[in-house]
Amino acid sequence: MLSFLVSALVICHNGPMADPAPLTARARARAEITGEIKATARRHIAESGATALSLRAVARDLGMVSSALYRYFPSRDALLTALIVDAFDAVGEVAEKADRSESSGDAGDRWRAVGHAVRRWALDNPHEYALVYGSPVPGYVAPPDTIEPASRITTVLMTVLSAIAEESIQRVLPEPPASTAAELAAIAPDLPPAQTALGMAAWAQMFGAISLELFGHLESVVYDRDAFFDHLLTLAILEFRSSP
Amino acid sequence: MLSFLVSALVICHNGPMADPAPLTARARARAEITGEIKATARRHIAESGATALSLRAVARDLGMVSSALYRYFPSRDALLTALIVDAFDAVGEVAEKADRSESSGDAGDRWRAVGHAVRRWALDNPHEYALVYGSPVPGYVAPPDTIEPASRITTVLMTVLSAIAEESIQRVLPEPPASTAAELAAIAPDLPPAQTALGMAAWAQMFGAISLELFGHLESVVYDRDAFFDHLLTLAILEFRSSP
DNA sequence: AAGAAACGAGAGCACCGCTCTTGACAAGGG
DNA sequence: CCCTTGTCAAGAGCGGTGCTCTCGTTTCTT
């Protein structure tokens, strides 16, 4: 199964090797197989959801035996965590790309573009979205590895929020309570806490709307979901910049 | 185990029975046991979450054998569905009670009271909240039984929304797109669609905020969650009534 | 009182996550 | 060059799961 890999490695070792990281054949094979495991697991999740993910089924698809998977992931939870990290990264990348593609427009358009991009990704990968923003598995505690990829999208939203604050007339906003103001000042020092609070409200609204739609709570209520979501974004953007 | 039930029934049958529905001993026992099954299942879920719910464990706790449970619920999914319906009902009741207790105040206070009550219930019953508003189990499709209990809380929110619309000066709101306007007019005929859209935005924000908090996305971001959530409600209420 | 319906118990099936052991193979030092 | 060491896939096996079927027993209905 891995013979082609091994032979490829031999060639690499014999010929001129520009790779700065001299990966041994085993290390290469290991990375390759780890990727294949994650890929098929992701495929299974896309079809049947996270709770139905079975190590044995993944192993069967890969032509190996279930116990062999434990060489690569110490437990089912570990595999799920790896997929969660990847999903966080994917949604972060989608948001960044949408922001960049709209960076010439005004900040409101950037927020709208990011919102639509995130929703589009969620609709295209519902089970992965559920993995990240749905209810976590009962005993699951987010390992530290997830914190960094999770911050990618919030960074994008914060950036857009700053841009909005810069380009539009500052609106008179209600001051958050002292504790909240201090906490928001800690995570966004260059923004007035009232503005950051408004951004988090918009964040909650955005993910709330996507979750409501994806988890079936808009069924027989709203049908043209594209238009509805766009209007919600309009309301949020309007609230950002409408002067009192 | 059920002997006390049987004897109680005998007494009921012999003595004066005012029950308008002449339940047989079997029917009474069935209702009783069904309730016990749901209660222990709810307890298990409160401790370990829905995905860890095991019919065999529930049966063990009740001193019966797993196959006996199938006399009451045709499948694990059916039991879960019953619990979902109960959870919908519970959150609906909490919302109604909060609304009633604040019905003397102005409409903004009512919205705030409902919001805090729902969040409080979610924090007290996180796994049940996840059951209802978290990611549904992969193959799960909401049966028609869930629609009616699910509408309880939305009805409360709609009522409060109407009250807000009545008592405060109508704000100039952006008109939703035609399709959205038509759909919102269908579910709330006596409200301008723009106002209903604002209500749904606030709804999404409320559940988004609760979900973000409950599912760990506010970790190391916001610590005084009570104050933060209250401020979010303040922003929503303000948006309801602030004139442009 | 007799037949029908509902019930609890038990055995059994296929599947799951996970552990342990075994034998094959590559990597690197003597 | 061989030989030790570490890594790997495979297999058997354990306890657990949802679910089905059968078999006596109990309860309701007629």
The model's pLDDT over A45-103, given as tens digits with 9 standing for 90+, comes to 999 999 999 999 999 999 999 999 999 999 999 999 999 999 999 999 999 999 999 98
**Residue predicted with more confidence, A65 or B146:** A65
pLDDT in tens, B51-81: 999 999 999 999 999 999 999 999 999 999 9
In this structure, the number of other CB atoms found within 10 A of the CB of residue A122 comes to 21
What is the pLDDT at residue A29? 87
Q: Is strand C less than 7 A from the beta carbon of A2?
A: no
Residue pairs between chains A and B whose CB atoms are closer than 8 Å: 170
Percent of chain B with pLDDT over 90: 73
Phi, psi of B97 (to 5 degrees): -60, -45
Confidence class for position A22, pLDDT limits 50, 70, 90: low
Task: Check CB contact under 8 Å for B227 and A142.
Answer: no
Confidence class for position A14, pLDDT limits 50, 70, 90: very low
Task: Check CB contact under 8 Å for B139 and A232.
Answer: no
Q: Could you write out the three-class secondary structure of chain B?
A: CCHHHHHHHHHHHHCCCCCCCCCCHHHHHHHHHHHHHHHHHHHHHHHHCCCCCCHHHHHHHHCCCHHHHCCCCCCHHHHHHHHHHHHHHHHHHHHHHHHHHCCCCCHHHHHHHHHHHHHHHHHHCHHHHHHHHCCCCCCCCCCHHHHHHHHHHHHHHHHHHHHHHHHCCCCCCCCCCHHHHHHHHHHCCCCCHHHHHHHHHHHHHHHHHHHHHHCCCCCCCCCCHHHHHHHHHHHHHHHHHCCC
Picking from A45, A135, A214 by the largest number of B CB atoms within 10 A of its own CB, the best residue to mutate is A135
Confidence class for position A140, pLDDT limits 50, 70, 90: low
Chain B residues with beta carbon closer than 8 angstroms to that of A48 = 138-139
pLDDT in tens, B189-235: 999 999 999 999 999 999 999 999 999 999 889 999 999 999 999 99
The residues near B242 (Cβ < 8 Å, ≥ 6 apart) are A244, B171
Q: Is strand C less than 7 A from the beta carbon of B6?
A: no
Residue in chain A nearest B222 by alpha carbon: A183
- Our CA dihedral for A131, B129, B48, B59, rounded to 10 degrees, sits at -120
What is the pLDDT at residue A215? 92
What is the pLDDT at residue A10? 32
Residue in chain B nearest A226 by alpha carbon: B180
Q: What is the mean pLDDT of residues A199-223?
A: 95
**Residue predicted with more confidence, B3 or B146:** B146
Task: Check CB contact under 8 Å for B205 and A204.
Answer: yes
Rounded CA gap, A118 and A93, in Å? 10
Q: Is strand C less than 7 A from the beta carbon of A67?
A: yes
B114 pLDDT higher than 60: yes
Rounded CA gap, A242 and A169, in Å? 8
Confidence class for position A11, pLDDT limits 50, 70, 90: very low
What is the pLDDT at residue A28? 87
- The set of residues with CB closer than 7 Å to nucleic strand D is A 26, 29-30, 33, 63-68, 71-72; B 6, 9, 24-27, 53-57, 66-67, 70, 74-77
**Helix crossing, B225-241 with A178-187: angle to 10°?**
100
A206 pLDDT higher than 70: yes
Q: What is the mean pLDDT of residues A102-119?
A: 94
pLDDT in tens, B196-209: 999 999 999 999 99
CA gyration radius, chain B: 22
Percent of chain B with pLDDT over 70: 86
Widest Cα–Cα separation across chain B? 72
A205 touches chain B (CB under 8 A): yes
Domains with residue ranges and CATH for chain A:
3-69 (no CATH), 77-241 (1.10.357.10)
What is the pLDDT at residue B118? 98
Confidence class for position B2, pLDDT limits 50, 70, 90: very low
A189 pLDDT higher than 80: yes
B85 pLDDT higher than 50: yes
Among A123-127, A146-150, B165-169, the range of highest mean pLDDT: A123-127
Taking only residues 44 to 83 of chain A, the set having a beta carbon closer than 8 angstroms to any beta carbon of chain B reads 48-52
Q: Is strand C less than 7 A from the beta carbon of B33?
A: yes
Q: What is the DSSP letter of A17?
A: -
Burial string for B110-146 (b: 16+ CB within 10 Å, else e) reads bbbbbbbbbbebbeebbbbbbbbbbbbbbeeebeeeb
Rounded CA gap, A198 and A172, in Å? 11
Identity of the amino acid at A137: V
Chain D nucleotides reached by a protein CB under 7 Å: 7-13, 16-22, 27-29
Identity of the amino acid at A130: A
Phi, psi of B200 (to 5 degrees): -70, -30
Confidence class for position A172, pLDDT limits 50, 70, 90: confident
A237 touches chain B (CB under 8 A): no
Here the ipTM equals 0.89
Which of B130, B147, B234 lies closest to A135 in CB terms?
Answer: B130
Residue with token string 């987010």: A142
- Looking across all nucleic acid strands, the nucleotide with the smallest C1' to CA distance from residue A29 is D8
Rounded CA gap, B112 and B235, in Å? 11
What is the pLDDT at residue A167? 81
B14 pLDDT higher than 50: no
Q: Which of A7-11, B88-92, B118-122, B202-206 has the lowest mean pLDDT?
A: A7-11
Q: Is strand C less than 7 A from the beta carbon of A13?
A: no
Residues 38-77 of B with CB under 7 A from strand C: 63-68, 71-72
**Residue predicted with more confidence, B36 or B140:** B36
